[in-house]
Chains A and B, each alone.
Chain A
Amino acid sequence: MSHASSTMSTQSEPQIKPLVVGERMFNSRLVLGTGKYASMELMKDALDASGTEVVTVAVRRERLYNEQGQSLLDFLDLDRYTVLPNTAGCFSAEDAVRVARLGRELLEQLGNPGASWVKLEVLGDKKTLLPDPVGTLEATHELVKDGFSVMCYSSDDPISAVRIKDAGATSVMPAGSPIGSGQGILNENNIVLCLELLKQGDPDYPVIVDAGVGQASDVARAMELGADGVLLNTAVAHATDPVQMAHAMRHATLAGQQSYLAGRIDKKLYATASSPMEGAISYIPGE
Chain B
Amino acid sequence: MQINLNGKTHETPEGTTIAQLIEQLNLADQACAVEVNKALVTKANHATHILSEGDTVELVTLVGGG
For the complex formed, measure the closest distance between the CB of A263 and the CB atoms of chain B, giving whole angstroms.
Answer: 33
| A58 with B64, Cβ < 8 A, contacts A73-B31, A102-B40, A109-B31 known | yes
CB neighbors of A among B1-35 (8 A) = 6-7, 25, 27, 30-33, 35
B residues in contact with A77, CB < 8 Å: none
Query: Which of A6-14, A30-38, A131-139, A268-276 makes up part of the contact surface?
Result: A30-38
The answer for the CA separation of A241 and B58 in the assembled complex, in Å, is 37
Give A62 to B33 CA distance when docked, in angstroms. Answer: 9
Least CB distance from B20 to A in Å reads 16
Question: Within 8 Å of chain B (Cβ to Cβ): is A215?
Answer: no
Interface core residue of B43, B59, B62, B66 (most chain A CB under 10 Å): B66
Task: List A contacts of B35 (CB < 8 A).
Answer: 98, 102
A83 to B32, CA, bound (A): 15
Please state if A58 and B65 are interface contacts (CB–CB under 8 Å): yes
Contacts of B27 in A (CB 8 A): 62, 64
Q: In the complex where A64-B32, A98-B35, A98-B40 touch, is A106 in contact with B60 (Cβ < 8 A)?
A: yes
Instruction: Please state if A33 and B60 are interface contacts (CB–CB under 8 Å).
Output: no
Contact B7 A61 (CB under 8 A): yes
Q: Given A98-B38, A101-B40, A109-B43, are A58 and B31 also a contact pair (CB < 8 Å)?
A: no
A110 x B31 contact (CB < 8 A) = yes
B residues 50-66 near A (Cβ < 8 Å) are 58-66
Q: When A61-B58, A62-B60 are in contact, do A34 and B65 touch as well, CB less than 8 Å?
A: yes
Nearest opposing residue in chain A for B43, CB measure:
A109
Most buried by A among B27, B33, B35, B38: B33
Describe A's contact surface by its main secondary structure. mixed
Decide: B66 and A62 in contact? CB cutoff 8 A: no
Q: Is the CB of A57 within 8 A of B64?
A: yes
Q: How far, in Å, is A190 (CB) from chain B's closest CB?
A: 21
A204 CB–B CB distance under 8 Å: no
**Are B64 and A35 interface neighbours, CB within 8 A?**
yes
- What residues on A are CB-neighbors of B64 within 8 Å? 33-37, 43, 57-58, 72
A36 touching B66 by the CB < 8 A rule?
Answer: yes
The smallest beta-carbon distance between A54 and chain B, in angstroms, is 12
The complex places the Cα of A102 from the Cα of B35 at a distance, in Å, of 8
A37: chain B residues at CB < 8 Å are 64
Q: Would you give the shortest CB distance from A173 to chain B, in whole angstroms? A: 12
Known: A98-B40, A102-B35, A106-B32. A33 touches B59 (CB 8 A): no
**Chain A residues near B65 (CB-CB < 8 A):** 33-35, 56-58, 60, 86, 88, 233
Partner of A71, one of B25, B30, B38, B43: B30
In contact, A57 and B62 (Cβ under 8 angstroms): yes
A/B interface sample: 14 pairs, CB < 8 A: A34-B66, A57-B63, A60-B63, A62-B27, A62-B60, A63-B61, A72-B62, A86-B65, A98-B35, A102-B60, A103-B33, A103-B62, A231-B66, A232-B66
Rank and list the top 5 A-B pairs by shortest CB-CB distance, nearest first.
A58-B65, A33-B66, A233-B66, A105-B33, A34-B64
